[in-house]
Amino acid sequence: MTQQTLIASGKCSLDFPVKVRNKSVALLPIIALLTVCATPRAPYDYTAFKRSRPASFLILPPLNETPEVKATIGVMASTALPLAEAGYYVMPVSLVDETFKQNGLTVPEDIHNVATDKLDNIFGADAAVYPKVKKYGTTYFVLGSQTVVTIEGKIVDLRNGRVIWAGASTHLVIHKC
């Protein structure tokens, strides 16, 4: 019996997807949609950063725009390592924190408002990193969880007060049970 005869007799139904002989034809609309919707990111212009040539960085405590209390400490702890591994000298985080505390600055908003020439005189770093935490936390669902961290930031040359880099990044980790 052919498939047509089975369907006509009621012994078979078409509840299953119809097979496509050429699978590339089936994927064509999806590929077209993705290529039309995807816009390539313009490369970042690093000329100001390269011109500044910073050798040392001062990492300021991040501004926390999330309800998560641990965001400031978590981001502060993980910010120095990539810069140090890239070959830059990073002012010790504990020393920077203690210096601000001894001078009455304990809130990140106040620390971010300190003039760049004052930061240059006190710490002697070439540039300062001004991080801002936009999202930080874990969302739980039935079969797992999703952790999202979004950070915006800028790097300012402390010798002249100019922004030499600015950007944002999101890191997403999905945990499945």
Burial of 71 (0-12, 13-18, 19+ CB in 10 A): buried
Asked if pLDDT for residue 73 goes beyond 90, the answer is no
Asked if pLDDT for residue 9 goes beyond 60, the answer is no
Asked if pLDDT for residue 117 goes beyond 90, the answer is yes
Burial of 53 (0-12, 13-18, 19+ CB in 10 A): exposed
Class of domain 47-176: alpha beta
In percent, the amount of the chain with pLDDT more than 70 equals 77
Asked if pLDDT for residue 175 goes beyond 50, the answer is yes
**Alpha-carbon gap, residue 146 to 73, rounded angstroms:** 20
Asked if pLDDT for residue 153 goes beyond 70, the answer is yes
Average pLDDT over residues 117-121: 95
Q: How much is the pLDDT for 70?
A: 86
Average pLDDT over residues 16-44: 53
Please give the DSSP secondary-structure letter assigned to residue 91: -
- CB-based contact 12:6 (threshold 8 Å): yes
Asked if pLDDT for residue 78 goes beyond 60, the answer is yes
Domain borders along the chain are: 3-37, 47-176
Closest among 167, 171, 170 to 43, alpha carbons compared = 167
Average pLDDT over residues 131-154: 89
Hey, is 15 helix, strand or coil? coil
120 membership: H or E segment, kind and range? helix 116-123
Q: Average model confidence (pLDDT) for the chain?
A: 81
